[in-house]
Amino acid sequence: MPAPPAEAAAPALSDVIAALDALWPPELAESWDAVGLVCGDPAAPVSRVLFAVDPVREVVDEAVRIGADLLVTHHPLYLRGTTTVAPVGPAGFKGRVVHDLIRNGIGLLVAHTNADRADPGVSDALAAALDLRVTGPLVPDPADPAGRRGLGRICEPLVPLTLAGFVEQAARGLPRTAAGLRIAGDPDTPVRTVAVCGGSGDSLFAEVRAAGADVFLTADLRHHPASEARQSGAPVLVDAAHWATEWPWCVQAAGQLDEISDRHGWALRTHVSGAVTDPWTAQAPSTHVPSSSGAPR
């Protein structure tokens, strides 16, 4: 009896990896990074793919629940190497992820800094979620003659905005997290140029200033770089949850794989995980107002 057409068209994991490697070439990854296939049989057929930011428990559970054959995550599972995948000890959750994936026949593929630098990349998806038009990379890749690849993106709003309006737009466009957005700057600041960087961007202040950005939206901004940037005036800062700045990439990536699947007649089913894997679960505004003491009368 002939197999149903969808199954007959199912590509091997190696075919899907080749297609995704063309979108996010592994050679674009930073030297310290760990991208590519973590587990999975390259010869196994793939019909369902789940995209997520983090290879964590709830995401693996979701992959099992929906019957995925491949999980594609932005963050690596093992970044620094390991000598064991035993599901015990402090990093035992990683071993558990490996065991659960293999037991359920699910491959894991990581596209991290290669997806950051690609065209389109993580920050293009972030810009789209923020309703911004991308004009170019924040840190261009010198090896890209088209000048589109690189870290972060320089963008323009589609309509004139103040910081308050931009923040409203960002709060609507980014997926909801407990941490939400932190803002540093005058709400009336006109916003003509926005620098965005999905993930931790506080090493990029020099480039943001050089680009003349009015606003820098990124994640994980630390006290000192943020304080120093504010002391020198521009840009104003919008600090979002790390997960929230990278999640839009999952939607973009699933759309890219859908197109590839249509082109090849693969009949793949793609899914984007809605699991909020930002580690912060609540926020409490502090109420104690400090007073200066010992001030002269």
The residues binding Zn ion (CB under 5 A) are 199
Which helix (H) or strand (E) segment holds residue 254: the answer is: helix 242-264
**Nearer Cβ to Zn ion, position 40 or 199?**
199
CA 163 – CA 47 distance, rounded (Å): 44
**Nearer Cβ to Zn ion, position 219 or 254?**
219
**Is the distance from CB of 98 to CB of 224 less than 8 angstroms?**
no
Shortest distance (Å) from residue 131 CB to Zn ion: 22
Shortest distance (Å) from residue 242 CB to Zn ion: 6
Which helix (H) or strand (E) segment holds residue 200: the answer is: strand 194-200
Shortest distance (Å) from residue 75 CB to Zn ion: 6
Query: Edge-to-edge strand order for the sheet containing 150-157?
Result: 132-140, 150-157, 194-200, 215-219, 236-240, 182-184
**Nearer Cβ to Zn ion, position 11 or 199?**
199
**Nearer Cβ to Zn ion, position 53 or 163?**
53
Alpha-carbon torsion (132, 135, 136, 137), positive or negative = negative
Give Cβ neighbours of residue 33 (< 8 Å, ≥ 6 apart): 76, 79, 112, 113, 114
Shortest distance (Å) from residue 262 CB to Zn ion: 29
Amino acid symbol at 291: S
Shortest distance (Å) from residue 278 CB to Zn ion: 11
Q: Please, which residues bridge with residue 272 across strands?
A: 51
**Nearer Cβ to Zn ion, position 214 or 246?**
246
Amino acid symbol at 263: R
**Nearer Cβ to Zn ion, position 133 or 176?**
176
Q: What angle do CA 144, 138, 257 make, to 5 degrees?
A: 60
Q: What angle do CA 154, 149, 228 make, to 5 degrees?
A: 40
The strand pair at 132-140 and 269-272 is best described as unpaired
Shortest distance (Å) from residue 82 CB to Zn ion: 20
CA 60 – CA 188 distance, rounded (Å): 44
Shortest distance (Å) from residue 220 CB to Zn ion: 9
**Nearer Cβ to Zn ion, position 185 or 248?**
248
